[in-house]
Chain A
Amino acid sequence: MRTHWLTTPAAAVLIGVAGYAALFLAPTERTMGLIQRIFYFHVPSAWTGFVAFFIVFIASIAYLLKRAPKWDWLAVSAAEIGVAFFTVVLTTGPIWAKPVWGIWWTWDARLTSTFVLWVLYVTYLLLRTLIADPERRAVVSAVFSIFAFLDVPLVYMSIRWWRTQHPQPVIAGGASSGLDPQMWRVFMTCWAALLGLLVLLLRERYNLEALRHEVGEMTIEAERRAAGRTSTQAWR
């Protein structure tokens, strides 16, 4: 097992820098005050989570076309990490919403669709635990994840037309919206840190999945040999 003596500390430092920048370097927002700083981890977590789910989507299509187990390993690794990032989003969101909106949660477009997205990938992981055969599991969960990914924009649009309360996107949201340049730099630092974390986690999780696969094959081989030996002894 390779140890990532360089990348792991690098990611840790980057996360530390991002946290420092979000807490001390970014200017305090005028109306919301300090609580707005949670935005530097809330929004980049969501974007990183989307990147992770996009990797699941691509890896699932690649698996169906190529049938190489590595694509399935990549898909499950990215799905788990994406769920982790969206858990961060769904935790930091209410912490921000309580002082700013006065409520923890509301069923508006983004909140509901983010929640549905999270549920979709939790069921993806659940589905995987309920299919024993590795090959069937890979095929079936790949098809499910493709459908889940296609569903996400539809969920978002349907609820958006239905009702909405979430602040409109500040970044690229229109002429009057926009981020202070310093806020923008801090924001991108945080996103870079989380993307670095995504790459690191993905690699570790992928290696773990590969090892599990190896152990599974060795177990089967060992059982086969043990069965062969007992039958030989019986024959003697």
Chain B
Amino acid sequence: MHLLPLASRLLPLVGVLMLGTLGLTTTGTVFSAVASQARMRELLLPLLLLPVLTPVLIASAEATTGLLSDPPMLERVWLLFLVAFDVVFLTATWLFGEYLLEE
């Protein structure tokens, strides 16, 4: 077993992590607000989240796999996909998120 030289891939890796985390937290926050208004909310949240998170999980996992393989490669399509996911759901949250918070 040999250690991968991390230095050259650290920056893109951090980028992927940030984009993926942004996607997880955006949908996670909105769906927590959805689940918190229902009965059985602890059970409901993962049920609501899992299908919606499928694309961001696949894209992050694929991008990270590419970066950690030898030689490293970052397929641009996954990076763009993560950006697209984040943009779509941040925009949707901006447009519709506040309806969840009204009383």
Contacts and interface: CB of A to CB of B under 8 A. Distances in A.
A155 B102 CA distance: 30
27 contacts: A119-B51, A120-B51, A131-B38, A131-B39, A136-B37, A139-B99, A139-B100, A140-B37, A140-B100, A142-B99, A143-B30, A143-B34, A143-B96, A143-B99, A143-B100, A147-B52, A147-B89, A147-B96, A148-B51, A151-B55, A154-B55, A154-B84, A154-B85, A155-B55, A157-B81, A161-B62, A161-B77
B38 A130 contact: yes
Contacts of B78: 161
Interface residues of A, number: 29
Contacts, number: 84
A120 B38 contact: no
B40 interface: yes
Interface residues of B, number: 31
- Interface SS majority for chain A: helix
Interface centre among A123, A131, A147, A150 (most CB of B within 10 A): A147
Interface of B: 27, 30-31, 34, 37-40, 44, 47-48, 51-52, 54-55, 58-59, 62, 77-78, 81, 84-85, 88-89, 92, 96-97, 99-100, 102
Contact of B81 (A116, A140, A146, A158): A158
B99 A158 contact: no
B48 A123 contact: yes
Contacts of B31: 144, 147
A130 B40 contact: yes
A158 B55 contact: yes
Given A136-B37, A140-B38, A159-B58, A151 B48 contact: no
A156 to B, nearest CB: 9
A131 B96 contact: no
A154 B77 CA distance: 13
B22 to A, nearest CB: 14
A144 B34 contact: yes
Nearest to A158: B55
B20 to A, nearest CB: 12
